[in-house]
Structure 1
Amino acid sequence: MKIAVVGGGPAGLYLSILLKRQDPAHEISVYERNAAGSTYGWGVTYWAGLLDKLRAGDPESAAAVADASVTWTDGLAIVRDQRTVHRGDAGHGIGRRRMLGLLADRAAALGVELAYEHPVAGPDAPELAGADLVVAADGVHSALREAHADHHGASFATGRNPYIWLGTTKVFDSFSFAFKETGHGWIWCYAYGFSGERSTCVVECAPGTWTGLGLDTMPEGDCLALLEKLFHDLLDGHELIGRDRGAEPARWLRFRTLTTRTWHHGRTVLLGDAAHTTHYSIGAGTTLALEDALALADALRGRRGDPAALDAALTAYGRRRRAELVPAQSAARLSAQWYENLPRYMDLPPEQMFALLGQRHSPLLPYVPPQLYYRVDRAAGRLEALRRLKRWLGPRVAKAVHRA
C-alpha cells in the first residue's frame, strides 16, 4: 500500500516502523509540520508492560528506548514540610525529544520517508493524493479530523485546574510530589527524571490559587522564581526551566479531554491524540498512543489497498481501541477529579493522604469519607495478605501432616 502518515509524533513514527516491518513493499511517508528535533514537553513516562509490547512489535526500537530510559521504584511526597515514601512498581522516563529521535532513526533505516517542516493542510492536500491509507496522527487539534468533525463526533471536556509543563536541572530518582499550602489555597507539583541531566515538573493548582498568587499575569521569569521558592525543598536549589517567554506571562493550560465516536472516514484513520486524550496525571498519553499504533498495525496485517477490506480493518481497529481505552479514560477522569477536590484529603496525616493519592482511580473514593476509606482499604489489604498466606501455607501443611 501507499501510506501517508500526517504527524511525526511517537504514534505516527512507531506505526510507520510496524507497517514497514510487516511489508517492506509499503510506500510510507511521514509528514511533520515542525523541524526535526523540535517538540513540546520534556519527558514522558511509561511502565514495564509497555516495553513488553514494544519488544513484540519491533525489538530493535524497543531496545533503543529501554537503553535511553531511566527507572525508579519509589514514590516521594512532600506535604507541607513533611516527607513520606512509598514503594511501588518500576516506572520509566525518557526525554520526548530522545524518543522521537530514536523512532525516527529506526523508521528511516527501514526505508520510511520522513518530511519535516512539511505541514499538511487538510484531506485534499496534494501529499495525500494517491495514498491508499491516510493516518491522522496530527494531534489533538487534528486538521484531518476536523475536516469531518460531525462524522467523527469529537467531544471535548476542559478541566478546571490550570497547569504548567516545566523542566528542571534537578534529577529525581523517584516519582516525586510536593503539596504546598499558600494564603490562596493549595499548589502542587509532580516531578520525575527522564535523563541523567533533566527532569520534568508539572505544576497544578486551583483557579483561585492561580489568580490569587498572580500566576495568571506574572511574567514567566517571575513565575518560575516564585515556583522555585514554593518548591525549594523538592528542587534542592535547582532551577525550573520554561519556554523563555521573557516578559510575557508563563504558558499555563487547562487540560482538554478528547473522545471521538468514529475513528475513521473512508481511507483516513485517527491515531493517538487525534482520536483521544487522557489527563496527564495518570501518565499514560504516550503509552496509549503507541498501543493505538500496535492495534492499527495488527488490524492492517496482510491487507492491501482494496477499499472494502481496508474499511473492515479500520472499523475493527476503532472498535477494539475504544473498548480498550475505557479503563484508562475512567482512571484519568477520576484522577483529575481527585486533584480538583484536593482540600478534601489534605487534613489527613501525610502518609494517609499519599496512600489515597494512590487510590484516586477508585470510583468509591469521592463518596466515602477519606479517613474511613483509608481504614477500610488498609483492613482489606491485610485480609488479602492473610488469604494469600493461607493459599501458600495450605498445600505445605497438608504435605507435612501426610508425612507425619
Structure 2
Amino acid sequence: MKLAIVGGGPAGLYLSVLLKRRDPSHEITVYERNPEGSTYGWGVTYWAGLLDKLRAGDPESARAVADASVTWTDGVAIVRDERTVHRGDAGFGIGRRRMLALLADRARELGVRIAYEHDVTGPDAPELADADLVVAADGVNSALREAYADHFGSEVTSGRNRYVWLGTTKVFDSFSFAFKETEHGWIWCYAYGFSGERSTCVVECSPETWTGLGLDALGEADSLRLLEKLFHDLLDGHELIGRDRAGEPAQWLAFRTLTNRVWRRGNLVLLGDAAHTTHYSIGAGTTLALEDALALADALHSPAPDLDTALTLYGKRRRAELVSAQSAARYSARWYENLPRYMRLEPARMFALLGQRHSPLLPHVPPQLYYRLDRAADSLEPLRRLKRWLGPRVARAVHGRDR
C-alpha cells in the first residue's frame, strides 16, 4: 500500500512504525507542517499498561520510550497550605519533544519518509492524490476532517474553565496538585516531571477567577510571575516557563471535547486527536492516540476482505473502547468546574474525592456522604460489588444520552 499520514505527532509517527514493521513494502510518507523538533506542550503522562501494548507493537521503540521516561508512585496535594500524600500506582512522564524524536528516528530507520514543514491543507492536496490510504492525524483542528465535518458527524463542546500549559525548572518526583483560594475564587495546578531537568505545570481556574486576577489581560511574563507567587510552596522558588510570547497574554484556553460519529470516508480515516479528545485531567490523550494507531494497524493487517471493511471495523472497535475513557474525562472535567463544592472538606477527604472524580455517582451525592459511603464500600464486599456494578451502568446511560 501507499500511505499518506498527515500529522507527525505521536499517533501518526507510531502508526508509520507499526505498518512499516509489519510490511516493509508499504510506501509511507508522514507530512508534518511544523519544523522538526518543534512541538507544543511539555511532557506527557502514561501508565504501565501502555508500555505493555507498545512492547507488543514494536519492542524497539517501546524500549527507547521507557528508557527516556521518569516515573513516580505518589500523589501529593497542597490544599491551601496543608500537604497530603496518597500512595498510588506507578506513573510515567516523558518530554513530548523527546518522544517525537524517538518515534521519528525509529520510523526513518524502518524506511518511512518524514516530510517536515510540509503543510497538507485539505483532502484535494496533490500529495494525497495517488495514496491508497490517507490518515488524518493532524490534530483537533484537522483540515482533512473539517472538509467533511458533516459526514464525520463532528461535534465540539467547550469546557467552562480556563487553563494554560507551562513548564518549570523544578523536577517533581510525584504527581502533584496545589489548590489556592484567592479573593476571586480558586486556582489550581497539576504538576509532574518528564525529565531530569523539567516538569509540566497545567494551571486551571474558573473564568471569574481568570478575569478577577487579571490573567486575561496580563502579558505572559507578568502572568508567570503572578502564578509563581500563588504556587510558591509547590514550586520551591523555581520559575515557570511559558511559550516566549513576549508582551502578549499567556495562551489560556478552554478545553474542547471532540467526538465524531464515524471515523472514515472512502480511503480517509481519522486517528488520535483528529478523531477524539479527552480532557487533560485524566492524562490519557497520548495513550489513547497510540492505542488508535495499534488498533488501525491491526485492522489493516486483519483478515478483513477489503480496505472499506477494515477501516469500518477499526472505527467501531475504537469508539466502543473509548466509552469508558470519555465518560471518565467528562466527569473529571465537571469535577473541576464544580471545585468549590468539594473544597469545604478537610484536605485529606478532598484529596480522596479528587481520586474519585471520574465517578458518575459523585455529582449526585453530597460530598461528605459520598466520602463515608466510599470508605464503607471499600471495607464491605457487598457494597464494593454494588459500586463496581453501578458505575459502568450509569456511565453507559449518560454516554447514550450524550450521543
Shorter chain as denominator, the TM-score bin is over 0.9
One-letter code aligned to 1:329: Q
Q: Measure, in 1, the Cα distance between the counterparts of 2:251 and 2:121.
A: 26
Q: CA deviation at 1:119?
A: 0.5
Which residue pairs with 1:177 in the alignment? 177
Contact residue 46 and residue 93 of structure 2 kept, 8 A: yes
Output one character per residue of 1:66-91: Cα deviation in whole Å (capped at 9) or x when no partner: 00000000000000000000000000
Q: Measure, in 2, the Cα distance between the counterparts of 1:387 and 1:375.
A: 13
Gap change, CA 1:48 and 1:239, over 3 Å in 2? same
Which residue pairs with 1:251 in the alignment? 251
How many corresponding residue pairs? 385
Output one character per residue of 1:342-370: Cα deviation in whole Å (capped at 9) or x when no partner: 00000101000000000001111001110
Q: Measure, in 2, the Cα distance between the counterparts of 1:85 and 1:146.
A: 44
Output one character per residue of 1:376-398: Cα deviation in whole Å (capped at 9) or x when no partner: 1111112249999xxxxxxxxxx
Aligned with 1:117: secondary structure?
A: coil
One-letter code aligned to 2:371: Y
Which residue pairs with 1:329 in the alignment? 326
Output one character per residue of 1:259-278: Cα deviation in whole Å (capped at 9) or x when no partner: 00010000000000000000
Aligned with 2:88: secondary structure?
A: strand
Contact residue 303 and residue 310 of structure 1 kept, 8 A: no
Output one character per residue of 1:148-193: Cα deviation in whole Å (capped at 9) or x when no partner: 1110010000000000000000000000000000000000000000
Q: CA deviation at 1:215?
A: 0.3
Aligned with 2:156: secondary structure?
A: strand
One-letter code aligned to 2:315: G
Match of 2:367 among 363, 366, 370: 370
Contact residue 28 and residue 113 of structure 1 kept, 8 A: yes
Matches within 5 A, 1:206-285: 206-285=206-285
Q: Measure, in 2, the Cα distance between the counterparts of 1:265 and 1:157.
A: 23
Q: Measure, in 1, the Cα distance between the counterparts of 2:302 and 2:108.
A: 22
Matches within 5 A, 1:17-32: 17-32=17-32
Output one character per residue of 1:81-129: Cα deviation in whole Å (capped at 9) or x when no partner: 0000000000000000000000000000000001000000111111112
Q: Measure, in 2, the Cα distance between the counterparts of 1:254 and 1:387.
A: 36
Q: Which has the larger radius of gyration?
A: 1
Which residue pairs with 1:77 in the alignment? 77
Which residue pairs with 1:164 in the alignment? 164
Which residue pairs with 1:9 in the alignment? 9
Q: Measure, in 2, the Cα distance between the counterparts of 1:152 and 1:302.
A: 24
The TM-score, its normalising length taken from structure 2, stands at 0.94
Q: Measure, in 2, the Cα distance between the counterparts of 1:215 and 1:130.
A: 49
One-letter code aligned to 2:287: T
Q: Measure, in 1, the Cα distance between the counterparts of 2:155 and 2:6.
A: 21
Matches within 5 A, 1:133-152: 133-152=133-152
One-letter code aligned to 1:251: Q
Match of 2:348 among 336, 348, 351: 351
Gap change, CA 1:212 and 1:321, over 3 Å in 2? same
Matches within 5 A, 1:301-312: 301=301, 309-312=306-309
Output one character per residue of 1:28-55: Cα deviation in whole Å (capped at 9) or x when no partner: 0000000000000000000000000000
Contact residue 377 and residue 383 of structure 2 kept, 8 A: no
- 1:319 equivalent to 2:316? Answer yes
Q: Measure, in 1, the Cα distance between the counterparts of 2:364 and 2:383.
A: 28
Which residue pairs with 2:357 in the alignment? 360
Q: Measure, in 2, the Cα distance between the counterparts of 1:203 and 1:64.
A: 30
Q: Measure, in 1, the Cα distance between the counterparts of 2:121 and 2:371.
A: 52
Q: Measure, in 2, the Cα distance between the counterparts of 1:259 and 1:65.
A: 29
Aligned with 1:354: secondary structure?
A: helix
One-letter code aligned to 1:360: R
Aligned with 1:328: secondary structure?
A: helix
Q: CA deviation at 1:245?
A: 1.1
Q: Which runs of 4+ in 1 moved over 6 A?
A: 385-388
One-letter code aligned to 2:294: L
The root-mean-square deviation of aligned C-alpha atoms, in Å, is 1.4
Matches within 5 A, 1:19-58: 19-58=19-58
Q: Measure, in 2, the Cα distance between the counterparts of 1:17 and 1:302.
A: 17
Q: Measure, in 2, the Cα distance between the counterparts of 1:294 and 1:127.
A: 25
Output one character per residue of 1:310-340: Cα deviation in whole Å (capped at 9) or x when no partner: 0000000000000000000000000000000
Q: Measure, in 2, the Cα distance between the counterparts of 1:297 and 1:10.
A: 14
The gaps in structure 2 that reach 5 residues or longer are 386-403
The gaps in structure 1 that reach 5 residues or longer are 389-404
One-letter code aligned to 1:201: C
Contact residue 259 and residue 276 of structure 2 kept, 8 A: yes
Q: CA deviation at 1:248?
A: 1.0
Identity of paired residues, percent? Answer: 82
Q: Measure, in 1, the Cα distance between the counterparts of 2:119 and 2:172.
A: 36
One-letter code aligned to 1:371: Q
